[in-house]
Chains A and B, each alone.
Chain A
């Protein structure tokens, strides 16, 4: 028995019969398959939304939050942003399988039965458009490819609300169907052809295999233990100056060795002072093992040595634990040239104005002569080529 014989014969008005919607006789375009794949997809989008919010508010905290962001755990941002990108990549496979399952519903006849039906279809169109848009823009962003006429960060953030809201609305609308097909023994599942069960299981295993393969061949860019399998990720932990990837080179930031010849560190506050590189190097140093964790998902841990930010702030008459710091880079342009560091970060003994990376002086691309490295922060806030600290 196939779908052809199940279709009721309707007498259509002559005007409508000119368009004949396609029929789908293949299997597994059913509610049980949609539920089984859909809940994994829903979980993936939930993880992406939650980790995306973490990343957004770490980078753009509202004033009331800025001084209370926690610098611990040191690997916090590495984990959340690694998850964001890995889950987003997995969601590509899950989304396409889910949409394949429900694709025949695009051609339901008549296309609109009632106001309620029209609204439901509209909400599904918003869901599909925003979901495909979100994984596509995310994927192109980590490939450093920006073919669109808008700015990626605010638009990816805006559409995240649309897609998450659409999923919640969709789950609310479909709740009775989801409940009826939640398990293999649920009442709705039992009304489906029993011979499809094995085929469905095989589709789900195939989908799981695809998610596993995509994850294994890319997650090494954030989870260094799997770097040997990092074959298809946009970054690799071993590729970069001093064995560490960079997002912005000195050349791209308009920094040259010549422009640094007259470098001084300027610290403003109640007792402002200026230091040459030699004088800075003579201050008591601390060492820390901290990851650089990029918004694009890659992350690598490294050994850093430098002067704790709180020592520099204290020397300028600032109060660590209460005052924040504004850090300015020598780069001439760039969204992150000026970076504000909240009081909790300033107070943390692991927040350094680093001078060395893995035992050697910072290379120009890693921010020579001095850069910020602090725990649990997005890489774009680990400001390079620092030349001014202002106690706020």
Chain B
């Protein structure tokens, strides 16, 4: 237990040292206030905007029979939209023809249709299995 505690305090102490190193590197930047603003902005964006939106969507799923599948499909679709969004909404032309060369809107739509199809098939399979189980119990 003592070794575990030593390890724990060493890890925490090392963590504080690394935070200090990073803070010192930020302070050495020509525009540290801009970095702080963006750090605070990231916190507010997540805690004040993104998380409440996700929770609101989660409320829609309460009581759904195949909630797990729907939730998995929504997390997957959400993740795919998030990583593609900057490519879609980025202002201005890409810096050269080999950067951002793909039709991202179309590709995202294709991938989302595949996600929906996989979720749909998965629900149908579960529904069939549940019906058979009920049939077996009734018979």
Given that A126-B19, A209-B75 are contacting pairs, would A158 and B26 also be in contact in the complex, using a CB cutoff of 8 Å? yes
Write the nearest CB–CB distance from A245 to chain B, whole angstroms.
4
B101 engages A96 (CB within 8 Å): no
Is A302's CB within 8 Å of the partner chain B?
no
B18 engages A161 (CB within 8 Å): yes
Is A150's CB within 8 Å of the partner chain B?
yes
A246 engages B98 (CB within 8 Å): yes
Say what secondary structure dominates the interface of chain B.
Answer: helix
Which segment of A133-141, A312-320, A374-382 sits at the interface? Answer: A133-141
B58 engages A240 (CB within 8 Å): no
Write the nearest CB–CB distance from A237 to chain B, whole angstroms.
10
Closest A residue to B86 by CB, please name it. Answer: A143
A202 engages B71 (CB within 8 Å): yes
Interface bin, chain A: 35 or more
A232 engages B83 (CB within 8 Å): yes
Excluding A231-B102, A247-B96, 8 further A-B contacts by CB distance (< 8 Å) are A133-B38, A172-B15, A175-B8, A203-B71, A209-B76, A210-B72, A232-B107, A235-B101
| CB pairs A–B below 8 angstroms (23 shown) | A26-B55, A103-B55, A129-B42, A130-B22, A130-B42, A143-B87, A149-B31, A150-B38, A154-B25, A157-B25, A161-B19, A161-B21, A169-B15, A172-B12, A175-B4, A199-B67, A203-B68, A209-B76, A213-B76, A217-B80, A218-B83, A240-B101, A241-B98
| A residues at B contact (CB < 8 Å) | 26, 89, 92-93, 96-97, 99-100, 103, 106, 125-126, 128-130, 132-133, 136-137, 139-140, 143-145, 148-151, 154-155, 157-173, 175, 199, 202-203, 205-207, 209-211, 213-214, 217-218, 230-236, 239-241, 245-249, 252, 365
